[in-house]
Amino acid sequence: MQIIFGIIAELISFLLCLFPTTAVSDVRENLNINIKPYQIEFHEDTHGGFHGDGEEIIIFRPTAEQIEKIKAEWQKTPVYSGIAPLIFPKNEYNGLELSGYIPETEGFWLYKNRGDALYSYNFSFAFFDGERVYYYELDT
């Protein structure tokens, strides 16, 4: 019986890799890191509003190879002062309060401006604390 459950679990894992979740796709597209669904510890997404507006938070544990990539390509803290006000204080945009998820520690960060409109915020931000990556996406 355990063998059957093991085979079923392996099959499900294989199928999840063929059809990645939106969280996996967002991390791959915006951070250029390929993660597996089982690496994700937390995911909340409020997209679906007017023109796809919303926020997303993903927390995952990177592999050793992914950690090397992060340390080589991302910025070391502190977070640039021009970006920090967009991400950390609660305001009309970031109702998910990313700052409540990110520990106050040194680490590495990445900011990607995905916006092309004049009066909107469309960006991705990620922070690595040495153990986990905290990914935040905002589309207004």
Residue 6 has phi, psi (to 5 degrees) of -65, -45
Neighbours of 129 (CB within 10 A): 16
Render pLDDT for 15-67 as a digit per residue (tens, 0 to 9). 555 444 678 888 888 899 999 888 989 888 887 766 667 788 899 999 999 99
Mean pLDDT on 113-135: 83
Q: Between residues 118 and 82, which one has the greater pLDDT?
A: 82
Q: Looking at residue 51, what is its pLDDT?
A: 67
- State pTM to two decimals: 0.74
Q: Looking at residue 45, what is its pLDDT?
A: 82
62 and 35 in contact (C-beta within 8 Å)? yes
Q: Looking at residue 121, what is its pLDDT?
A: 75
Q: Which of 114, 127, 138, 86 is nearest to 30 (CA)?
A: 114
What percent of the chain is modeled with pLDDT above 70? 69
Q: Looking at residue 107, what is its pLDDT?
A: 92
Residue spans of the domains in the chain: they are 21-139
Q: How many residues does the chain have?
A: 140
